[in-house]
Amino acid sequence: MEKPFYLFLTLILLLSCSDKKPAAAPEANTSKDTIVLQVSNNKDQIEGTYETQREGNDPDDCKISLEINKTKEGYSYFLKTKTRQLKGIANFTTEESGEKYLVLESIKWDEYNGDISHEDEENDSIANAEKPELEIPVGISASYVKDTLTIQNYGNSMNSYTKLSECGRKYIQLIKSQK
């Protein structure tokens, strides 16, 4: 007699839990003077002109400007440094981790030596073997946070490269102009 009673009680308990309706969110009281702003997607906010900021006493230390424009196909860029002006396609991506990147397509890195950590080892047969010609990467990626694009411009002793040789900074920060 006890088993059917507990079975019936369990069944009633399960059914009562699954029939709950979501609680209605309380309506916000807004007055006629209140303006509700829609937050736009980060892709819409990436458009604009970005520039490096002066560091130290040298005004031309690393003067770079980058203009991002929306096109029918996506985005385009116009990069201007003290020695060159480049145009191309810009791709905006968001990683699974939530990190956002802008890739400036078609820009060939200025220098790429790859992994150079084993160059001094003379007894290593791999190091002594004929090294294949390394292909210089194309495309410069910049991390995007709020109004700042950050490019890691050169590598380290393990991975030697330089993306934009006209700027000696390790990290090039391009900050969006408020024009």
pLDDT of residue 164: 96
How sure is the predictor about 5, in pLDDT bands with cuts at 50, 70 and 90? low
User: For a pLDDT cut of 90, what percent of the chain falls above it?
Assistant: 53
pLDDT of residue 45: 86
pLDDT of residue 134: 83
Q: What are phi and psi of 121, to 5 degrees?
A: -85, 105
pLDDT at 97 over 80: yes
What predicted TM-score, i.e. pTM, was given to this entire model? Answer: 0.67
Taking the CA atoms of the chain, what radius of gyration do you get in angstroms? Answer: 28
User: Whole-angstrom Cα distance, residue 119 to residue 128?
Assistant: 9
